[in-house]
A and B are shown apart, each in its own frame.
Chain A
Amino acid sequence: MAYPRQPRFSRRQVVRGLMATTAFGVVTKFGTACSPGTDAGSAPGDSSAGGGEDLMVGFIYVGPKDDFGYNQAHAEGAAAMAANVAGIKIVEEASVPETTAVAETMRSMIEIDGAKVLFPTSFGYFDPYILELATEFPDVQFFHAGGLYQEGVHPDNVGSYFGYIDEAQYVAGVVAGATSKSGKLGFVAAKPIPQVLRNINAFTLGAKSVNPDITTQVIFTGEWAEPVKEAEATNSMADQGIDVVTCHVDSPKVVMETAEKRGIFSSGYHANQAPLAPEGYLTGAEWDWSSIYTRLGEEFLAGKTLMAGDIPHILRGGLADNFCKLSDYGPAVSEEAKAAADAAKDQLIKGELIIYPGGLKDNNGNVVVPEGEGYKQDNIELEKMDYLIEGVQGSIEG
């Protein structure tokens, strides 16, 4: 097949073209660099002042920013940080998979956008991507939402923050246990990682505190966002006579809507899903990232860093510290259930209630919490959880 003749360029044309491109590139680079500075008060055109004044903070999400779930909760927190703290600008990227793609995203946020602080919010970003980038850019702070940071093992500029949302799940479990008629609860979970297991266990423990015979059936879908499998899982739970379902997936919308269609109760997660299930929605464990992000933002501007040790490497908090909250009770929740749940909530806020008591057994009969005091929320052992407690039907080995 005959190809058209290649156009020919003389050396001079090439040199001219290269120079023009470079000049254009430099101009646009300055042009964009000063535009974010305008709302911080510097005049447009003041080319050098632009990037230096505002602290650029990068947020990376594993799914879409408005998924009615995990990523939306983080994105709302990020927006609150940008709105509440003057002098912080945020740059966001959504739907970044837990692959080398996130390393590229972090690199371009650091090198192109000039981000000094990064919040890669998904669990799977940590190892190896955050760790590699953190070694490469020692002056950039990385905050990972999840419990994988280990003192002394991981770089100094990496920190971890997470909420003890299992406290909220415990209270939701109390409500679920008091509401369930069949004594069977369902939990649609994505992957058997410690945070998910902790939620399953806390939910079950909460339910068992009002009805010791209750069981929780777990179904793992294997991925954070699998709408079809989540709906199938909810349907097969309803077929098995389970009458309260909750979930730990990125977007609980499908689970809530399917439960409502099947006429069973649901308990939300990540954000408030009450509008999706007006009849069956009991309550839900919600994140509240805005307070913690705002606090961190103020600390950044005050010059505090992870490297200097001004910001603790492990940031944790539960209901008492506004890391999480509960949805308002739905119409199906009885007065007794409300009273029991409010009592549990009060005790948790005061720190009187220990969710994981001493002598707790897993569902294979092994004692997983040693006899005695039990594990308090800040016990680091809980962040390595690899068991399902007695009363949970399911297995974490795939």
Chain B
Amino acid sequence: MATEALGWWGVPLGIIAGTLRGSAPFLFVSLGECLTEKSGKINLGLEGTLLMGAMSAYGVSFLTQDMVGSFWAPWLGVLVAGLSGMGLGAIHGWLSQQRRVNDVAVGIAMIIFGSGLAFFLGKPFIQPQASQLFTFNWGAWSSIPAVQSALKVSPLFLIGVAIAPLMQWFFRSTRWGLYVRAVGDSPDAALAMGISIFKVRFLSIMAGSFLAGIGGACLSLYFPGVWTERISSGQGLMAVALVIFARWNPIQCLWASLLFGGAQSIGPAFQSVGIDSYYYLFNAAPYILTLVIMVITCSPKRTLIGAPGALGKSD
């Protein structure tokens, strides 16, 4: 039993632990959205994808834990979460590229569809407990239980951290990355190069939704580790906004996700050491941070740097 108190050290520790625990969903969704938006389409439906991913990961982990054991079942869940995300992404990718169809409107429809489908299929999984993903216990050197628990790092988080520079490299140095950027910045030029705009966008949206689905799996199989209908509490939409905040740069998506993940734990961490006034304000910390950084970095003289040229323009 954890009996020794940490006192004030609990605040920074809580925020670090919260960052390690809570930023993975933001990271996956924002990286997925980054890829999607680089190709020139917006996918607002990632909130629905996130919920669908959380539900399918939890459901699959629960249903298969007797067959494949409690180690592999959650990984199977992660895979299925990604695939279910791809399914939703395929719908969005096809639908949003039809003539006179607005991708924002389709995205909102996909939020409703994805969350509705997840709620409908997820009913039987609210009550049971599914096997959770294993964690790396990097805190074993410490005798303080709080540190041990804070340094339980999920492999999914590490994968997410690894994907960010990989995606940066993909955009900058590979032929396919160039295709995605070309389609996103100047579809006409891409067309002249002989690239199929439809295929590139379709595949980008599918891949982005795959990542968002895995983000959902982080929620239901790692932290907080349950499936309920309120599990996402708007994190999918926040992650979409985060991409703009990160200027469509995967590395900055990583920092932004860490910031948002950590900011989530500010309110509870402060209250637990006795700073109990203004907790509504502390709970709003992520949004206040966003506003502050937006105000600092914006400029009336130029438009958003890094925005893909064709983003949000109908063809």
Contact = CB atoms under 8 A, between A and B. Distances in A.
Contacts of B149: 235, 238-239, 261-262
A258 B10 CA distance: 17
B2 A238 contact: yes
A241 B3 contact: yes
B127 to A, nearest CB: 6
Contact of A66 (B127, B272, B277): B127
Contact of B265 (A236, A238, A251, A393): A236
A236 B233 contact: no
A257 B268 contact: no
Interface stretch (B31-39, B82-90, B171-179, B219-227): B219-227
B201 to A, nearest CB: 21
Residue of B14, B229, B264, B276 with highest tally of chain A CB at under 10 A = B276
A276 B10 CA distance: 26
Interface string A249-278: 011011001100111100000000001100
Interface stretch (A5-13, A226-234, A364-372): A226-234
B277 A397 contact: yes
A257 B3 CA distance: 19
Nearest to B14: A236
Contacts of B22: 228, 232
Interface stretch (A138-146, A213-221, A288-296, A334-342): A213-221
Interface residues of B, number: 50
Interface in B1-32: 1-7, 10, 13-14, 17-18, 21-22
Contacts of B2: 238-239, 241, 243, 262-264
Give the interface residue-count category, chain A. 35 or more
A225 interface: yes
A393 B42 CA distance: 46
A150 interface: no
B145 interface: yes
Contact of A398 (B6, B18, B281): B281
Given A240-B10, A263-B1, A232 B269 contact: yes
A1 interface: yes
Interface string B215-241: 000000001111011110101000000
A200 to B, nearest CB: 12
A77 B147 CA distance: 43
B273 interface: yes
Interface in B233-280: 233, 235, 264-265, 267-269, 271-274, 276-280
Interface string B137-152: 0000000011001100
Nearest to A182: B3
Interface in A52-96: 63-64, 66-68, 95
Query: Which of A239, A258, A276 has the most B CB atoms < 10 Å from its CB?
Result: A239
B224 A95 contact: no
B81 to A, nearest CB: 17
B283 interface: yes
A6 to B, nearest CB: 16
A186 B273 CA distance: 12
A222 B3 contact: no
A395 B276 contact: yes
A181 interface: yes
B129 interface: yes
B268 A221 contact: yes
A103 interface: no
A67 B279 contact: no
B123 interface: yes
Given A231-B224, A236-B271, 10 more contacts: A68-B126, A221-B267, A221-B268, A227-B228, A228-B235, A239-B17, A240-B7, A258-B224, A262-B149, A398-B277
11 contacts: A219-B271, A219-B279, A232-B264, A232-B265, A236-B269, A236-B272, A238-B145, A238-B146, A239-B146, A241-B3, A253-B226
Query: Which 8 residue pairs of A and B lie closest in terms of their CB atoms, listed nearest first?
Result: A241-B5, A231-B224, A225-B230, A398-B280, A233-B268, A239-B146, A236-B272, A395-B276
Interface of B: 1-7, 10, 13-14, 17-18, 21-22, 100, 119, 123, 126-127, 129, 145-146, 149-150, 223-226, 228-231, 233, 235, 264-265, 267-269, 271-274, 276-281, 283
